[in-house]
Amino acid sequence: MYADENGYKYCPGLGIPDFWQNGSELNFSSRFAAMFPVHRMRRLRQPPTLRAMTRETHVRREQLIYPMFAVPGRGVAQPIAAMPGQYRRSVDELVKECRKIHDLGISAVLLFGIPEHKDETGSGAWAEDGIVQTALRAVKKAVPDLALIADVCLCEYTAHGHCGVLSPEADARVLNDPTLELLARTSVSLAAAGADVIAPSDMMDGRVAAIRRALDAHQFTDTPILAYAAKFASGFYGPFREAAGSAPQRGDRAGYQMDPANAREALREMELDWQEGADVLMVKPALPYLDILRAARRRLAAPLAAYQVSGEYAMLEAAAQKGWLDGPRLMLETLTCIARAGADWIITYYAPQAATLLR
């Protein structure tokens, strides 16, 4: 180490002034001195072009899946209060919106149905003229290149709001095995109506295997299953339950959906669905469970999906409308984080806005 005529010290071999004058010692480690400023991380951050070229994770329009709600009637586009910008749509309006979605470069939509009538077993879920079956046929005819994913669950169709058949006891529980038969029946009905992908969201044990057997038995061997494999009993579903009218009339779903505290169990659920024949595995919700998504990405070779659910969307939208957050920026940031954690498919109510910006 030596000093120049101005009293600045230099590190031999590097020719780098330490910026401390007149006798002060270098106050950083020799390792740091050897690195700095040879490695300046900001060099590739400051020019926007280089920053874009160095970006590790990219969200593509083809990854996005738009959830939509079908209702009976004609000319219906009813706003959902808890989800600004989202609507319940009659089939004719749904078809119009799907044309726009396809034109934006979005590859797929996820369809939910709100039937006109509900009963104890949710029979509207597998009716040939059910709301989702009707929507599938209409959209497939109008927009044949748009992939149609049909949610499979009974909660929107049962009078009690649970995802399966209830036991007759006073403390009614959801009966797993009798529910499997109805889920399989629903899946075949949806595939026959034109669903490209069947997506069971009920969290019954063994439902992927039951659905796979039923689809194969009815010659739908090429219809893939997107399993809601790690679906947590989350408080983030509130706005969806308002939109779909699917809140349980009594009790809750903690007896069959996952405990938010459990990560190892989530991975086991995903492995079981994969072994039963699922083609894509989902984590739901997305942002609070990115650790589960990342762990699954490291552990499983399966394609992965993540659902940015209604509560996540509602929080961001509410804050953006208040002016507390930059809405478009946070939208893309959260979608990028979901993709970075390992999602191949991203289900999000932001799909149209994101696709517009990404284009």
pLDDT tens per residue across span 148-167: 999 999 988 988 878 888 88
CATH architecture, range 62-358 = Alpha-Beta Barrel (3.20)
**Res 20 pLDDT > 60:** no
Residue 197's nearest CA partner among 222, 230, 228 is 222
Please state, in angstroms and rounded to a whole number, the distance separating the CA atoms of residues 123 and 183.
10
At 170, the pLDDT band (50, 70, 90 cuts) reads low
Please state, in angstroms and rounded to a whole number, the distance separating the CA atoms of residues 327 and 357.
12
- For residue 40, what pLDDT is reported? 84
Residue 20's nearest CA partner among 1, 34, 7 is 7
At 34, the pLDDT band (50, 70, 90 cuts) reads low
- Stronger pLDDT, 9 or 92, i.e. the higher one: 92
- For residue 359, what pLDDT is reported? 83
DSSP summary character for residue 74: S
Residue 94's nearest CA partner among 120, 117, 67 is 67
Q: What is the pLDDT of residues 236-272, one digit of tens each?
A: 998 987 877 666 666 667 778 899 999 999 999 999 9
**Residues 258, 265 contacting (CB under 8 angstroms):** yes
Task: Specify the range with the lowest mean pLDDT, choosing from 1-10, 67-76, 313-322.
Answer: 1-10
Please state, in angstroms and rounded to a whole number, the distance separating the CA atoms of residues 46 and 257.
46
- For residue 5, what pLDDT is reported? 55
- Stronger pLDDT, 343 or 255, i.e. the higher one: 343
Please state, in angstroms and rounded to a whole number, the distance separating the CA atoms of residues 111 and 131.
10
- For residue 129, what pLDDT is reported? 95
| Other residues' Cβ atoms within 10 Å of the Cβ of residue 281 | 26
Q: Are strands 165-166 and 174-175 parallel, antiparallel or unpaired?
A: antiparallel
- For residue 41, what pLDDT is reported? 86
Q: What is the pLDDT of residues 201-210, one digit of tens each?
A: 999 999 999 9
Phi and psi at residue 166, in whole multiples of 5°?
A: -95, 145
- Stronger pLDDT, 359 or 36, i.e. the higher one: 359
Q: What is the mean pLDDT of the chain?
A: 89
**Res 17 pLDDT > 80:** no
In order, the DSSP letters of 18-52 are EEEETTPPP-S-HHHHHHTTT--GGGGTSSHHHHH
Global pTM?
A: 0.88
At 15, the pLDDT band (50, 70, 90 cuts) reads very low
- Stronger pLDDT, 52 or 211, i.e. the higher one: 211
Matching residue, tokens 């990028």: 336
Residue 220's nearest CA partner among 262, 190, 250 is 190
Residue 313's nearest CA partner among 83, 110, 101 is 83
Matching residue, tokens 């762990």: 295
Q: List the catalytic residues.
A: 231, 284
- For residue 21, what pLDDT is reported? 45
Q: Where do the structural domains in the chain lie, given as residue ranges?
A: 2-47, 62-358
Q: What's the rounded mean pLDDT across residues 227-234?
A: 96
- For residue 353, what pLDDT is reported? 97
Distance linking the first and last C-alpha atoms of the chain: 55
Q: What's the rounded mean pLDDT across residues 208-231?
A: 98
- For residue 174, what pLDDT is reported? 86
Output the six-digit token pair for 6.
């101005």
In order, the DSSP letters of 288-340 are GGHHHHHHHHHH--S-EEEEE-HHHHHHHHHHHHTTSS-HHHHHHHHHHHHHH
Please state, in angstroms and rounded to a whole number, the distance separating the CA atoms of residues 270 and 231.
10
With a pLDDT cut of 90, the percent of the chain lying above it is: 73
Buried b (16+ CB within 10 A) or exposed e, 123-158: bbbbbeebbbbbbbbbbbeebeebebbbbbbbbbbb
